[in-house]
Chain A
């Protein structure tokens, strides 16, 4: 194809997106669109899968059966969400194995929030309430993104995600209403998860490298700073309602702009964790890699068994 032809196709493509048409897997698309989508969708899938680890830490120690079944169901959903997103990614011609390889080799990123440890039961509450809360704010606009398979996956994810946040907040309510020790535990979890949750919504707009292009392709519909403000404005009253304090001395309602002013985010910490120096980066990656490697014989055996069954059936048919 000549350069001019490609330019022409690109112009038509951008016009389709501007008209709110969806792009489907077999449609022509610019290489950059394909690559950007593989990057974002796989990052998202990896985050779902790695995100199971911090919560998996508490399944056996959940304080009641009610809490345990809910936590198990939530973690199972996350495995499902990872699968929807990997499948959507595969429609762009990348194989599942390549995607896993990118995660295991450290080439692909996942959400940094999962590199923090879950040291008390209250962390299950804080994760559901804050981490899933921030994730929902990020994800809802994606139900309308331009790439069809991604949008459809996100609709399923968002539908299922809504119980995750409620189960987390309910844990926090119960602890906040409990003994002084329990309330302190809830406050401590809020103290530890608040800032990383704000960071989850991404670098500030002035340094975010992907925003402009992603807005055009509807991979992003609001800027990081707008999403963060939305998260803060909706979460602060929820903390107040249950008598917990947001760990930010600069947090103040701004009557004029109708939203909260908040303190400086420690972006050095954010970049340290992104670069692999968070408290649990190594632990998370080791857990993923060993699960993959130690499962290899199971995957091989299942494949060999299926092939043998198929052969046997074919022989009997002759």
Chain B
């Protein structure tokens, strides 16, 4: 096949103002404009969105799950970052 493959894009949709864009899938397109148009047809056929972001998949840097230990474990023993860590008398309201 002599054809050059269309690059892959990741699609993020904001379902309504006030909410964040959320990843909803991916598609192939030759450029950003086509990716947007296709995303509209594929992911918002039933009013699922008011705003779309597309980003070429190769531009996303992702963490490696094999390194989850080093990355995320340090947060596990820091219970003092949560409000429930602190002892308060029962009489104290609204804190």
Contact = CB atoms under 8 A, between A and B. Distances in A.
Interface class of chain A by DSSP: helix
Given A97-B1, A306-B34, A310-B31, A26 B26 contact: no
A56 to B, nearest CB: 17
Interface stretch (A187-195, A210-218, A245-253, A295-303): A295-303
Interface of A: 24, 26-28, 73, 76-77, 80, 83-84, 87, 90, 95-97, 152-153, 156, 160, 296, 299-300, 302-303, 305-306, 309-310
Contacts of A73: 45
Contact of A306 (B31, B41, B66): B31
A298 B27 CA distance: 17
Contact of B30 (A153, A156, A160, A303): A303
B92 interface: no
B17 interface: no
A73 B46 CA distance: 11
B82 interface: no
Interface string B9-31: 00000000000000011111011
Interface of B: 1-6, 8, 24-28, 30-31, 34, 41-42, 45-46, 62, 64-66
The 6 tightest CB contacts between A and B, nearest first, are A306-B30, A306-B31, A87-B26, A302-B30, A303-B30, A27-B65
B42 A26 contact: no
B30 A96 contact: no
B25 A303 contact: no
A26 B34 contact: no
Nearest to A101: B1
A300 B2 CA distance: 9
Nearest to A305: B30
A140 B45 CA distance: 21
A28 B31 contact: no
Given A76-B41, A296-B3, A306-B31, 9 more contacts: A76-B45, A84-B25, A87-B26, A87-B27, A96-B28, A97-B3, A152-B25, A302-B30, A303-B4
Contact of A77 (B3, B28, B34, B45): B45
A83 B46 contact: no
Nearest to B66: A28
A96 B26 contact: no
B25 A24 contact: no
A208 B87 CA distance: 60
A300 to B, nearest CB: 6
A56 B64 CA distance: 44
Given A24-B65, A28-B66, A310-B31, A299 B26 contact: no
A160 B30 CA distance: 27
A90 B66 contact: no
Nearest to A84: B25
B25 A87 contact: yes
Contacts of A299: 3, 6
A97 B5 contact: yes
A80 B42 CA distance: 6
Given A26-B64, A28-B66, A87-B27, A160 B46 contact: yes
A90 B8 contact: yes
Contacts of B42: 80, 83-84
Of B8, B26, B64, chain A has the most CB atoms within 10 Å of the CB of: B26
B66 A309 contact: no
Contacts of B66: 28
Of A24, A83, A305, chain B has the most CB atoms within 10 Å of the CB of: A83
B27 A83 contact: yes
